[in-house]
């Protein structure tokens, strides 16, 4: 269960229990382009990983695995 309480655009060292809105929006935009969730702990840094972690910004941009999946869908 995720205990996130709110949103942030500044997920720096002072962030506590908030989703980075840019990371979430990039993830959700991936769904509108036909991408599904990527499962498996070895993929946790990809944008389309099944969980968007709190206070992290690395999902703001697509990783190689995300791009490869996008290329397969188009």
pLDDT digits (tens, 9 = 90+) for 16-68: 889 999 999 999 999 998 899 988 888 899 999 999 889 999 999 998 888 88
Tell if the pTM clears 0.85, that is, is over it. Answer: no
Q: What are phi and psi of 65, to 5 degrees?
A: -65, -35
Give the single-character DSSP code of 19: E
Q: What is the per-residue pLDDT for 73?
A: 63
Residue 69 clears pLDDT 90, i.e. is over it: no
62 vs 3: CA distance, rounded Å: 25
pLDDT digits (tens, 9 = 90+) for 53-66: 899 999 999 988 88
Q: CA-CA distances (angstroms) from residue 57 to 1, 17, 73, 74?
A: 20, 13, 25, 27
Supply the pLDDT for residue 3.
64
Tell me how far apart the alpha carbons of residues 1 and 47 are, in angstroms, rounded to a whole number.
19
């Amino acid at each position: 269960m995720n205990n996130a309480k709110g949103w942030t655009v500044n997920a720096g060292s002072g962030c506590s229990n908030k989703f980075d809105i840019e990371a979430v929006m990039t993830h959700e935009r991936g769904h509108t382009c036909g991408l599904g969730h990527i499962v498996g702990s070895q993929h946790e840094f990809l944008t389309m990983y099944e969980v968007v972690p709190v206070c992290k910004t690395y999902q703001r941009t697509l990783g190689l695995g995300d791009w490869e999946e996008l290329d397969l869908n188009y």
